[in-house]
Amino acid sequence: MKLLLPATVRQVAGQLGVWERIESALADRDWIDEIASLPVRPSRAATRLGSYQQRGGSPRAILLQPVLEPHLLRETFLHELAHACDHRDNQAGRIYRRPHGEGWRDWMARLGCRPEVRGHSAALAMQYVSRLKTVAVCSRCGSEVRRLRRLNRRVRYLHAGCGGRLKPV
Ligand SMILES: [Zn+2]
Ligand SMILES: [Zn+2]
């Protein structure tokens, strides 16, 4: 399955087959359309599966890693959606606090999820490893240092393993 992003909560829920449960969890709330039209955008974070963004005391967007396995996509989407519902329901107009508190746990239950905070994605871990670049080589032992970002060339780095000088590549 390839998730098409950006999209709205309603569209992503349709792609993931979870709209019916969201609709019934939100049936008695007059802000259901607000949540349904909330944007879902691709996340570029290195290791987080997803996140919830707020602005001015209101839900702003859900970010999701499109490379996740289907069950994790569904789980992560509902986890972040529960934050949006908790914010809108219990803390409307205020900066969202206590993100994994009682209100969020209630919304997770309404959405048919166990209130676990994070899953692990093998697909995301592989994407992370493939994004690492060799940024330096140790001049003493030849070890390569791999990171997401380059080293600052004006700083001298030593290899933690042997104490040799690291040469940026
Ligand atoms: Zn969370
Ligand atoms: Zn070394």
Question: What confidence tens digit (pLDDT) does each residue in 42-63 have?
Answer: 998 878 889 999 999 999 999 9
The structure tokens listed for 92 are 């409307």
For residues 8-23, average pLDDT: 96
Q: Is the pLDDT of residue 16 over 80?
A: yes
Q: Is the pLDDT of residue 6 over 80?
A: yes
How far is ligand 1, taken at its centre, from the CA of residue 101, in Å? 10
How far is ligand 2, taken at its centre, from the CA of residue 111, in Å? 51
How far is ligand 1, taken at its centre, from the CA of residue 87, in Å? 12
How far is ligand 1, taken at its centre, from the CA of residue 83, in Å? 7
How far is ligand 1, taken at its centre, from the CA of residue 115, in Å? 9
How far is ligand 2, taken at its centre, from the CA of residue 150, in Å? 18
pLDDT digit string, tens, across residues 74-110: 999 999 999 999 999 999 999 999 998 999 999 999 9
For residues 14-33, average pLDDT: 96
Q: Is the pLDDT of residue 69 over 80?
A: yes
Q: Residues of CATH 3.30.2010 domain(s) within the chain? A: 7-119
At residue 19, the pLDDT reads 97
Considering the four listed CATH numbers 3.90.1200, 3.30.2010, 1.10.3470, 3.30.1490, the one that applies to the domain covering 7-119 is 3.30.2010
Q: Is the pLDDT of residue 71 over 80?
A: yes
At residue 167, the pLDDT reads 93
Residue of higher predicted confidence among 137 and 69: 137
Q: Is the pLDDT of residue 4 over 70?
A: yes
